[in-house]
Amino acid sequence: MKALSIRKFGGAQILPWITFLAIAVVWCVLSYGGLVGPLFVPSPTAVFDKITSGIRDGSLLQNCWASTRRVMVGWFFSALVALPCGMLMAGSKRFTSLIQPVIEFVRYLPVVALVPLTILYLGIGETQKYMVIWLGTFFQLVLMVCDTVSSVDKNYLNAAKTLGAGKWQVYKEVIFPASLPGLLDDFRLTIGWAWTYLVVAEMVAASEGLGYIILKSQRFLATDVIFMGLLMIGLIGLATDFLLRLLTRILVPWYKRLSD
């Protein structure tokens, strides 16, 4: 039994690397084999050269930090507002009736269409970029929080009320702990969406950032730089997802997913 569990654990750890290796092999075959021109698929060597030169002159680390800061700040304030709003929506039908129609309406608006308004209201500074990330994540996250909190077993709530717990105690001692695993999963998903809105946030008046260098490279057909930017976004995203998974295991060690 122990050998079987070790074998399963090892297989689960190896499979993702096999997938990445397969993608790398296809990339090498297409580029080094001359099946696709470098304008469309640059070679791994060309992309790696861009990464190393960017690390040497400090520009890559500066751009990575600028983009990470924008994503994290925008997403943090989104979660900061969405968490109490979603919990209130789950516990109050009046509050839900008041705010849900607006949220349902706005969440279908494309964020790109709202960029001109964010520039008009907030200018072209960092606050505008944070707002783009906020708009791209808040309206989805608040509904996800509401759904997660609403799924808490009603027997927990009835037991707490029977024992004399007040409304604030029910939220603090029952609802929040019971919904915390689901909330952490919601955060993981929406922080991924925040990264997808990065290029939109850096479309206007940006002088640094991964989205900025991708858009800038598009004008000159510098595909190797575009690949570098995409690769860095993916790697930072994987690191963020890993940290949130680790945080979930620390805060709620009893929580087990079906895939675990």
* Rg, C-alpha atoms of the chain: 22
Encode pLDDT of 102-115 as tens digits: 998 988 888 888 88
Encode pLDDT of 142-153 as tens digits: 999 999 988 887
Residue 136's SS3 state is helix
Residue 6 has a pLDDT of: 44
Q: Where are the beta strands (DSSP E) in the chain?
A: none
Joined tokens for residue 34: 């001359």
Residue that is written with structure tokens 């925040």 in the block: 194
Non-local (6+) Cβ contacts of 91 within 8 A are: 149, 171, 175
Residue 15 has, within 13 A of its CA and on its CB side, a CA count of: 6
Joined tokens for residue 17: 């690397």
Q: Which of 16, 7, 2, 66 is nearest to 233 (CA)?
A: 66
Domains along the chain with CATH numbers: 1-41 (no CATH), 43-251 (1.10.3720.10)
Q: For the chain, which residues score pLDDT lower than 70?
A: 1-13, 256-260
Contact 198, 211 (CB under 8 A): yes
> pTM surpassing 0.95?
no
